[in-house]
Chains A and B, each alone.
Chain A
């Protein structure tokens, strides 16, 4: 399974756009790129996934270049409530189990 690398921490201010980049150089053809969010004292929560190009939902956007060796999670106009740990994972879409490997994630802190 492809290993992911992302920054340990990031800081931002309310109202700014935040981009968190994840590197996954060894991503396989069958892998989806998946992001989870974890608030303090809660379990992780799935927020977005993509295979290539751009995906957008009500929470975030995910940008994936053609070579798929990296991806960028974009959070528009963050608020204090977006302070959380964000995990980048790759998941084999051909897998029946759907085993997920969580790294240490990126601690995003949003300041007023």
Chain B
């Protein structure tokens, strides 16, 4: 399917475990973003990527690792999950030639850390 997809949609994990959230887009957009959304905080940027093999930190990067070996994929890894990382995670993408204000968001992954 065309667009931006995230997997899994729901995940429950235990404190201390490593977990990877996947993001895949079919548009070949250069820019990709990871956000987390918590009640009372809106969306906060975790990491972003301007192209394959180019990534940088956003507002709240601690405890997260990203990689981007292929343009279409941008996985987010929680190296050792903590309860404070319980959140809804959204991946987004934007075309380098497109409007800077228009990002396309995936459906989100709801992660619960017990």
Name A's B-contacting residues (CB within 8 A).
32, 34, 41-46, 49, 87, 89, 91-93, 95-105
Across the two chains, which residue of chain A brings its CB closest to B9? A41
Q: Is A43 a contact partner of B45 (Cβ separation < 8 A)?
A: no
Give which listed residue, B40, B43, B99, B108, contacts A102 with CB less than 8 A: B43
Minimum CB–CB distance from B95 to chain A (whole Å) comes to 10
Kindly state the interface size class of chain B when it binds its partner: 20 to 34
Q: Is A99 a contact partner of B105 (Cβ separation < 8 A)?
A: no
Minimum CB–CB distance from A31 to chain B (whole Å) comes to 9
Across the two chains, which residue of chain A brings its CB closest to B35? A102
Q: What 6 A-B pairs have minimum CB-CB distances, sorted nearest first?
A: A43-B105, A98-B100, A91-B101, A102-B43, A34-B101, A102-B42
CA distance A41 to B9 in the complex (A): 10
Name B's A-contacting residues (CB within 8 A).
31, 35, 40-45, 48, 50, 58, 90, 92, 94, 96, 99-108
User: Inside 8 A of B41's CB, which chain A residues have their CB?
Assistant: 104
12 A–B contacts from the bound complex (CB under 8 Å) = A41-B108, A42-B105, A43-B90, A43-B107, A44-B43, A44-B103, A45-B105, A46-B103, A49-B101, A49-B102, A100-B103, A103-B42
User: Inside 8 A of B101's CB, which chain A residues have their CB?
Assistant: 32, 34, 46, 49, 89, 91, 93, 98, 100
User: Inside 8 A of B58's CB, which chain A residues have their CB?
Assistant: 99
